């Protein structure tokens, strides 16, 4: 294959090599195919709105039929494999991905705008780690035996669900596919992965790499719009489970449709996560962790962003000063550049949406600006660059404190009483993540236990660990898939067998 140098038009001295041809197919039944209707979608890079870096097929109903049929045909043999064989295949897939770590990371940077050092590379390594972790769990897909009388044998078997449609968002495609694919495969299911229309390339390349070791049809990848191929998969009668990650609005419809036909489904949705700092935690170390929680290094395009920062009034000003000084050091720049801390927002629509929230926040009485790094970055820039913004004096009932912005806008809220801050933290229709910073571990854990979120971190702000339980409460989601228990609950079903001996 020839290589093409992608030039973003931004003079950073960085070039990325992306594979040619730029016209990708979809992986169905081990073949790279066009959409049945022959239509294609252009993929632009967020680094440069004028640059089409690839085209992908625009799949519709007929393509859902083909992909689901391929996954169905591959299912019996894959499910029938002994568990060590499935484990071996996943380990080989991990090795292939590891050899291509750098390529996948570069492609992620170009595809999503996520900065290579702070985000894109960790996403690739998370994917590799997840394949290895779930390979090691292959033997855990097992049943139990009841201690019955000697003339009875009563036992259970854990069986795969069948064909899983995995629907992905654009913000961190390799990380989200890592949350789903290794777990569903090791449990014996086959997959139709639907890549996000805004960032499909890293997932297609991942599929190209690991299809070398996966039997044809075990992994299929389709591309196109949510309302077309996404919906076609959700309503497809031969899809046994829909594993969806995306917005709460779309997820509610996906759950209703999949549930309406009594298919299994899981939903990983949005968040408006609280980050609570106690008066004993006004240190540089905590500032670093809070910075991680803001997900500024990911343009805050993360479902687990700690976007509501609750600062105790005793340390409010001092902590904010420290945070602002640190944020001012972050470099917004070409996501392919190792020096960049922050890359680009995914597209023009999302960039404008973030402006709308900023305007709305600033229009509220009492709103202040602790940091506005936007400076010379404007809507006219060819890339969708956006520096962080920290708003103070925010009330928990303002729109910017209630809705998911999915952009680098942090709302700072003052608190004085533990009950009050827990009430405010929980006063949200979301319940995905939360962060508690407190040196008194008793108080920290007391608060952690009272917060209605699926994932609470104490005294740290980083991302998910391979194997941890992950999922939302309230309108942040339904179901778990990423841990051992999540894999068992999310991707298997139990059969009881009672035998009279
Ligand atoms: P989105 O809901 O617009 O789209 C997600 C995926 O669903 C895309 O592939 C899209 O094509 C598809 N889709 C859209 N309409 C569909 C339909 N009617 N039927 C089936 N599929 C459909 O979300 P997005 O803008 O791509 O991603 C951002 C959102 O994802 C944010 O709200 C973020 O919080 C959420 N997210 C959640 C998690 C999590 O783990 N909880 C992780 C990442 C992102």
DSSP 15-33: -EEEES--B--EEETTEEE
Report whether CATH 3.60.15.10 matches the domain 2-269+475-500: no
Q: Determine the distance separating the centroid of ligand 1 and the alpha carbon of 168, expressed in angstroms.
A: 6
Q: Distance from the CA of 252 to the center of ligand 1, in angstroms? A: 11
DSSP 298: G
pLDDT at 377: 61
Per-residue pLDDT at 82: 98
CA–CA dist 295, 275 (Å, integer) = 12
Residue 49 buriedness (CB in 10 A; 0-12 / 13-18 / 19+): middle
Which of 123, 268, 404, 481 is an active site residue? 268
pLDDT of residue 162: 99
β 31-33/26-28 pair status: antiparallel
Output the pTM of the full model. Answer: 0.95
pLDDT in tens, 303-334: 999 999 999 999 999 999 999 999 999 999 99
pLDDT given at position 3 = 34
CA separation, residue 225 to residues 64, 89, 197, 301 (Å): 12, 31, 6, 20
* CA-closest candidate to residue 464, choices 447, 450, 483, 448: 483
Atom of ligand 1 nearest to the CA of 224: 11
Whole-angstrom distance, CA of residue 394 vs CA of residue 384: 26
Report which protein residue has its CA nearest ligand 1's atom 18: 227
| CATH 3.40.309.10 corresponds to the domain 274-471 | yes
Q: Would you call 140 a catalytic residue per the annotation?
A: no
Average pLDDT of adjacent 10-residue blocks, the chain of 501 residues:
34 42 90 98 93 96 98 98 98 98 98 98 98 98 97 98 99 98 98 98 98 98 98 98 98 98 98 98 98 97 98 98 97 95 95 96 98 73 92 98 98 98 98 98 98 98 97 98 98 98 96
pLDDT of residue 10: 35
- Give pLDDT, residue 381: 77
CA distances from 349 to 46, 346, 353, 356, 406 (A): 11, 8, 6, 11, 12
Q: Distance, CA 472 to ligand 1 centroid (Å)?
A: 14
**Residues lining ligand 1, Cβ inside 6 A:** 167-171, 176, 194, 196-197, 225-227, 230-231, 234, 245-247, 250, 253-254, 268-271, 303, 404, 406, 432, 472, 477
Domain ranges of the chain: 2-269+475-500, 274-471
Taking the CA atoms of residue 399, residue 401, residue 406 and residue 411 in that order, the dihedral angle to the nearest 10 degrees is 130
Residue nearest to atom 26 of ligand 1 (CA): 169
Pocket mutation for ligand 1, best pick of 201, 247, 255, 481 (most atoms within 8 Å of C-beta): 247
């Amino acid at each position: 294959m020839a290589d093409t140098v992608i030039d973003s038009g931004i003079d950073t001295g960085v070039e990325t090599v992306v594979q040619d041809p730029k016209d990708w197919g979809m992986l169905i039944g081990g073949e790279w195919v066009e959409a049945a209707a022959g239509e294609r979608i252009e993929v632009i890079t967020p680094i440069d709105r004028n640059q089409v870096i690839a085209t992908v097929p625009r799949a519709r109903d007929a393509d859902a039929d083909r992909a689901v049929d391929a996954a169905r045909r591959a299912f019996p043999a894959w499910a029938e494999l002994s568990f060590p064989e499935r484990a071996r295949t996943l380990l080989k897939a991990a090795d292939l991905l590891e050899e291509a770590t750098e390529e996948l990371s570069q492609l992620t940077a170009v595809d999503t705008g996520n900065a290579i050092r702070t985000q894109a590379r960790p996403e690739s390594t998370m994917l590799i780690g997840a394949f290895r972790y779930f390979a090691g769990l292959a033997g855990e897909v097992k049943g139990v035996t009841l201690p019955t009388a000697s003339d009875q044998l009563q036992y259970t078997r854990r069986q795969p669900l069948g064909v899983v449609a995995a629907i992905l968002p654009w913000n961190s495609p390799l990380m989200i596919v890592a949350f789903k694919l290794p777990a569903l495969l090791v449990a014996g299911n086959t997959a139709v992965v639907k890549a996000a229309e805004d960032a499909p390339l890293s997932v297609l390349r991942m599929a190209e790499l690991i299809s070398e070791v996966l039997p044809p049809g075990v992994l299929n990848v389709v591309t196109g719009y949510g309302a077309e191929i996404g919906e076609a998969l959700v309503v497809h009668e031969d899809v046994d489970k829909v594993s969806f990650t995306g917005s709460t609005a779309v997820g509610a419809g996906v759950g209703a449709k999949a549930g309406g036909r009594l298919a299994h489904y899981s939903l990983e949705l949005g968040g408006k996560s609280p980050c609570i700092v106690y008066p004993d935690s006004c240190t540089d170390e905590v500032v670093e962790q809070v910075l991680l929680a803001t997900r500024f290094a990911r343009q805050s395009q993360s479902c687990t962003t700690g976007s509501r920062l609750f600062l105790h009034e005793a340390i409010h000003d001092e902590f904010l000063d420290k945070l602002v000084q640190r944020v001012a050091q972050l470099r917004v720049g070409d996501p392919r550049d190792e020096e960049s801390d922050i890359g680009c927002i995914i597209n023009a629509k999302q960039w404008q949406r973030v402006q709308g929230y900023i305007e709305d926040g600033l229009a509220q009485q009492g709103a202040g600006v602790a940091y506005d790094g936007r400076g010379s970055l404007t809507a006219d820039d060819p890339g969708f660059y956006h520096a962080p913004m920290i708003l103070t004096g925010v009330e928990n009932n303002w729109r910017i404190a209630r809705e998911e912005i999915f952009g680098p806008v942090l709302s700072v809220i003052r608190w004085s009483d533990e009950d009050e801050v827990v009430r405010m933290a929980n006063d949200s229709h979301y319940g995905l993540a939360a962060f508690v910073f407190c040196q008194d571990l008793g108080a920290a854990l007391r608060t952690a236990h009272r917060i209605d979120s699926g994932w609470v971190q104490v005294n740290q702000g980083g991302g998910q660990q391979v194997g941890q339980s992950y999922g939302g409460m309230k309108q942040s989601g339904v179901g778990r898939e990423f841990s051992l228990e999540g894999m068992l609950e999310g991707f298997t079903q139990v059969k009881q067998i009672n035998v009279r001996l």
